[in-house]
């Protein structure tokens, strides 16, 4: 019998993330709105996180935009337009993947 082996990045496959695409300008518009949304949620729920989030996110976004061509973009399988877009890149070896998520945009779930 023949078996089919599907390979890919574990977190993408395990969470059924869907690849999407952005131009640099479209990503700038998206991330500006997304950061505003997360800031609003933090102001309501965890005000002590607003300043560290905004500072850290601004630094990370500068890095993302400077290396924009390196990233692949992923969203959840439900394609929620208000959800976070996760970014995938590879370490210097070109083989080892890593993903970027904004911690304050994640929601904890009990397993």
* Residue 101 maps to a domain: yes
pLDDT of 2-55, one tens digit each? 778 778 888 888 888 999 999 999 999 999 999 999 999 999 999 999 999 999
Q: What is the CATH number of the domain that holds 61?
A: 2.170.150.10
CA distance 20 to 74: 6
Residue 31's nearest CA partner among 51, 56, 57 is 57
* Residue 3 maps to a domain: no
- For the chain, how many structural domains are there in total? 1
Domain with 79, as residue range(s), is 10-105
Q: Rounded to two decimals, what is the model's pTM?
A: 0.82
* Residue 110 maps to a domain: no
Would you give the distance in Å from CA 57 to the centre of its chain?
12
* Residue 1 maps to a domain: no
pLDDT of 58-98, one tens digit each? 999 999 999 999 999 999 887 776 788 999 999 989 899 99
Residue 99's nearest CA partner among 74, 62, 69 is 74
């Amino acid at each position: 019998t023949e078996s089919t082996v599907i390979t890919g990045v574990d977190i993408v496959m395990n969470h059924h993330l869907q690849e999407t695409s952005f131009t640099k300008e479209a990503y700038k518009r998206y991330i500006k709105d997304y950061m505003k949304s997360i800031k609003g949620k933090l102001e309501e729920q965890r005000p002590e996180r607003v300043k560290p989030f905004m500072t850290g996110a601004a630094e990370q976004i500068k890095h993302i935009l400077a290396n924009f061509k390196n990233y692949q973009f992923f969203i959840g399988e439900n394609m929620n337009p208000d959800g976070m877009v996760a970014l995938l890149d590879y370490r210097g070896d070109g083989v080892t993947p890593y993903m970027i998520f904004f911690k304050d945009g994640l929601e904890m779930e009990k397993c």
